[in-house]
Structure 1
Amino acid sequence: MPDQKSIEVCLTPALLNLYDTSNSIVVVIDILRATSSIVYGIDNGAEAIIPVAHVEDCINYADKGFLLAAERNGEVVEGYDFGNSPFSYTSERVKGRTIVLTTTNGTKAMHMAREEAYQVVIGSFLNLNALCKWLKVQEKNVLLLCAGWKDKFNLEDTLFAGAVVNELRKDFTHFDDSCVVAEDIYLLAKDDLRTYLHKSSHSHRLAQLNIEEDVKFCLQRNICETIPVLIGDTLIALKA
């Protein structure tokens, strides 16, 4: 295994063009709530999730037996089955089904990442331990891509990136300054993530939508073992 593996944090998709990801596993992070819901849905038996960039793209999948999920600005788009609340991705609703999903930030980041990355996987606090155990033994560099909020930095995705950096520190040789910042923030917040995130702008946006339970759910650690991986246009469970 190479002894020069690097781990980097891209704090917003607007900076992705600055990174060479051709030999990197890119972990897409959208904690509130897209990647948390994706992990939870596939862990609950969803056959696949197809991330699409635009609401209009979902229409191409109408009347074909798919569940259609669309979120913009934190709310379900009118006329769709659901948005990106993890409570919509229970086994009762998604087991054996394929979901077509578009969100404000997360699905955009996935589309950007796949253009050059060696591999794209999905991270959340829900699968933190499983993800880190897998990344440790891969012979690839890692880029942690924070989906942010409309191309701007956000706190919750950076917190998660910091948690991954903290877990993988002994297994990688090179770190960038974004890793240092992300890890420092995580170490400040790790004992009470929810209280720390009361500072975040997105937390306030979601509070106005009365979905505090979603936020609490997405900050749970290690309740899922699944690592979703993007194969072509489709997210499926990574096979061991």
Structure 2
Amino acid sequence: MQKRNIEVCLTPALISLYDLKNSIVVVIDIFRATSSICYGIENGANAIIPVATVEECKNYEKEGYLLAAERDGKVVEGFNFGNSPFAYTTEKVKNKTIVLTTTNGTHAINESKRTAYQIIIGSFLNLDAICDYLKSQDKDVLLLCAGWKNKFNLEDTIFAGAVVNQLKTENYILDDSSIAADDLYQQAKDNLEAYTAKTSHSERLKKLGIEEDIKFCLNVNITKSIPVLVNDKLIKM
């Protein structure tokens, strides 16, 4: 297999700088959208439809879907739920279609889907499954960190580093952002919870009293499913 590129885009605000035509884009929003998406697909959701706005989410009301909307870490008033992983249990989502809009994660999906070869969803929950899949593909890799409102954040970059760490011994060419992400992961890997406790988004979620969400999102390899975007729907690969 020929050499492939692995790049880390530290925020969706930079996505226009990357050529995605030959890239598998891994969208990352650890706290909490992509963790919840991975958990929901693992638990039998038929599909999760990511949309950009609350209004667009409301437009699906007559379809009989579950509607999920989050802004600034809180469930938007009038919706079934937001993006807590505990809302995506088997009992709640099996055989259901969910329409989801979030502050950062769905924004990152929408920003990359115009030109990417493929979009998949990554989290610590399905880390090994993601890495094994990427190794098997003859495509470049772009790890897209959702960040916080188009700004850099630590937790997404640390996860990107975890992926780079597994792939760097394969036939990949790393960019500087990938090297930096890997270095951050090396600092954090022995105690992800302690390292990410100092992140700004962790502090936001703690103020909302949802520390358990943070702990859950740092579980490694408890799912094997890979959500993939097909015709604007995230489904199980």
Smaller-chain TM-score bracket: over 0.9
- Conservation of the 8 A alpha-carbon contact between 1:122 and 1:228: yes
Distance 2:9 2:231 in 1: 22
**1:104–1:150: 8 Å Cα contact kept in structure 2?**
yes
Alignment partners' CA distance in 1, 2:216 and 2:186: 20
Residue 97 in 1 paired to residue 104 in 2? no
Cα distance in structure 1, aligned partners of 2:143 and 2:56: 26
> Secondary structure of the residue that 2:62 maps to in structure 1?
coil
Does 2:134 correspond to 1:121? no
Take 1:219 and 1:173, find their aligned partners in 2: how far apart are those partners?
A: 26
Instruction: Point out where structure 2 has 5 or more consecutive residues left out of the alignment.
Output: none
Which position in structure 1 is the counterpart of 2:142? 143
Q: Deviations over 1:15-50 (max 9, x none)?
A: 111110100000000000000000000000000000
SS at match of 1:32: coil
Partner of 2:192: 193
Aligned 1:174-193 pairs, distance under 5 A: 174-193=173-192
For residue 9 of structure 1, give the secondary structure of its aligned residue in structure 2.
strand
- Code of the residue aligned with 1:43 in structure 2: it is E
2:230 is matched with which residue?
Answer: 231
The structural deviation recorded for 1:173 is 2.6
How far off its partner does 1:54 sit?
0.1
Distance 1:182 1:45 in 2: 32
* Matched AA of 1:80: F
Q: Report the equivalent of 1:36.
A: 35
Cα distance in 2 for partners of 1:172, 1:8 equals 13
Verify the 8 A CA contact 1:71 1:102 in the aligned structure 2: yes
- Cα distance between partner residues in 2 of 1:137 and 1:59: 39
Task: Provide the residue aligned with 2:79 in structure 1.
Answer: 80
Alignment-derived partner of residue 207 in structure 2? 208
Unaligned runs of 5+ in 1: none
**Residue identity in the other structure for 1:111:** N
After TM superposition, which residue ranges in structure 1, 4 or more long, deviate above 3 angstroms? none
Mapped partners of 2:195, 2:12: distance in 1: 23
1:166-181 equivalent positions in 2, closer than 5 A = 166-181=165-180
TM-score under structure 1 normalisation?
0.98
Deviation for aligned residue 1:170: 1.3
Separation in structure 1 between the aligned mates of residue 165 and residue 203 of structure 2, nearest angstrom:
27
2: CA distance between counterparts of 1:161 and 1:15? 16
Alignment of 1:43-58 (within 5 A): 43-58=42-57
In the alignment, what sits opposite 2:110?
Answer: 111
The alignment covers a number of residue pairs equal to 237
Aligned sequence identity (%): 65
Q: Distance in 1 between matches of 2:172 and 2:118?
A: 20
- Which deviates more, 72-81 or 168-177? 168-177
Q: Is the 8 A contact 1:7 1:172 kept in 2?
A: no
- In 2, Cα distance between the equivalents of 1:161 and 1:230? 19
1:172 shift after superposition: 3.1
Note the C-alpha offset of 1:64: 1.6
Contact residue 37 and residue 86 of structure 1 kept, 8 A: yes
Q: Secondary structure at the match of 1:170?
A: coil
What value does the CA root-mean-square deviation take over the aligned residues?
Answer: 0.6
